[in-house]
Amino acid sequence: MSKKNVFLVSLIIVGILLLVVSTLLIVNDMFWSDAFVVLGYISLISGLSNIINYFKSRNKAYLIRFVLNIVGGLILIFYTRIPVRLLFIVFSAYIVGNGLIQFISYMLIAKGKVKVGFLVFLAVLIVILFGVSLFLGKVVTTRIFNIVLGIYGILLGITHIADGIYGLIPREKKDKMKRRIKVSPPNFVTAFIPLFVLEYINNKLSPSESKNQISYDKCVEVFIHVSKKGFGAIGHVDFSIGDKVYSYGNHDQESAKFLGAIGDGVLFIANKKDYVLYCIEDDNNAIFSYEVLLNNEQYDIVNENIEELMSTSYRWKPNLKDSSEGNYAKIIFDATNAEFYKFSSGKFKNYFVLGENCVKLVDGIIGSSSGSGAFNMNGIISPGAYQLYLEGEYQKGNTNIVSRVMYK
């Protein structure tokens, strides 16, 4: 079986497992308690294994693991309510956090003179109240939460199964099918995927395995940037068409707030060759480039979307006298002679790292919200999720992700 088919079959198997577990979550009110009891017995067995290894090697690390496994196992078995409660606290914090992120994004979009419906605000409020109710154990009971999480898991499982089957279909038949649903994993799962992929490529893949020499005239390149330090581990996304790179972010340090999480949205356009060379040599980044094949109609739509985006923009000149390390705009200008733009209105007038960010802009130009039909990435807002999606499409074969190259 080829590597591509192994990947596709694994997607189907994972999808089936998700369906089974999610169904149990819905029908079994004691699912979490039963699950932690099982984990407790597994921990006890692991503890016994560690104590045997300790007597064989006299390595104190095994003794420490033995104590931790036994204590942890007994807590999971006899005090199940403690880990269950902690789990619900984590879930509720995640839900409330996501709601607050959506609320901030809503306010910033409204500030950009974009009309946002009241129903959107109401949906954000419901999400926050759902998380608070889950934490307090009021209204949102364990039963209700299990049903919601189970439904999400079933949708995610169906997505995995559909992705696997879809990848096995020949391209000529696939073109007649339109994928409309995409359920992505939670953002906290995918946030650091670029760093994980970088480690995987470094440790597992030879250069010949990570490159495909096929090239097409009608294509767009999507760049995933990642470094091993700071926010670079989370990643950044931009794209190129022809010899130009379009990169969006909070590139004006004078407008940056909350460690750069919020600020004026700035788009710069640079020569692709100069930009890639700067990123890998001066900025010490690794770049994963995914080449996306487009038909004539899709290619025209992408160009129209770029024109529409630029219609609300105006030229912005960065402070070239400031040579501080934080003045990224000056660094880019010196390296590539890039042109910088801000926006007078629109949802990208204000940048928000967890809302209207680099991923949202790329998606708006070539993705699911662009009208091109090149991607179907509904709900994806993090570079990590973007990387997960693109890599999955590339591994399937017979998709319009025709090439992956790592620049390093």
| Encoded tokens for 238 | 């931009």
Of 390, 349, 195, nearest in space to 264 by CA: 349
Is residue 407 over pLDDT 60? yes
pLDDT band at 346 (very low <50, low <70, confident <90, very high): confident
H or E element, residue 407? strand 401-407
Is residue 240 over pLDDT 90? yes
CA angle 376, 341, 407 (to 5 degrees): 55
pLDDT for 369: 47
**pLDDT mean across residues, the chain:** 79
Average confidence (pLDDT) over 37-58: 88
Average confidence (pLDDT) over 177-187: 50
pLDDT for 172: 56
Is residue 229 over pLDDT 70? no
pLDDT for 174: 52
Percent of the chain with pLDDT over 90: 19
Q: Answer for the pair 217, 282: CB distance below 8 angstroms, yes or no.
A: no
Average confidence (pLDDT) over 343-349: 90
Is residue 245 over pLDDT 90? yes
pLDDT band at 1 (very low <50, low <70, confident <90, very high): low
Is residue 184 over pLDDT 50? yes
Contacts within 8 Å (CB) and 24+ apart, 82-86: 83/36, 84/32, 84/33, 84/36
- Strands 286-293 and 401-407, bridge-based pairing: antiparallel
pLDDT for 16: 92
Is residue 113 over pLDDT 80? no
pLDDT tens digit string along 358-391? 988 998 898 754 555 555 555 556 787 788 788 8
Tell which phi-psi region holds residue 291, choosing left (phi > 0), alpha (psi between -120 and 50) or beta. beta
Give the residue with greater pLDDT, 188 vs 293: 293
pLDDT tens digit string along 114-130? 766 677 778 778 888 88
Average confidence (pLDDT) over 168-196: 52
Is residue 352 over pLDDT 70? yes
Give the residue with greater pLDDT, 68 vs 131: 68
Where b means 16+ CB within 10 Å and e means fewer, 10-28 reads ebbebbeebbeebeebbee
Instruction: Name, of 106-120, 128-142, 184-198, 236-250, the range with top average pLDDT.
Output: 236-250
Average confidence (pLDDT) over 189-207: 46
| Encoded tokens for 340 | 């910088």
> Hey, where are the domains in the chain?
3-147, 178-407
Is residue 218 over pLDDT 70? yes
At 327 the three-state DSSP class reads coil
Average confidence (pLDDT) over 180-190: 49
Sign of the dihedral defined by the CA atoms of residues 28, 30, 32, 35, in that order: negative
What beta strand segments (E) does 214-308 contain?
219-226, 236-241, 244-249, 262-264, 266-271, 286-293
Is residue 241 over pLDDT 90? yes
pLDDT tens digit string along 292-339? 888 888 888 899 999 999 999 999 998 888 877 778 899 999 999 999
pLDDT tens digit string along 134-150? 787 766 677 887 888 88
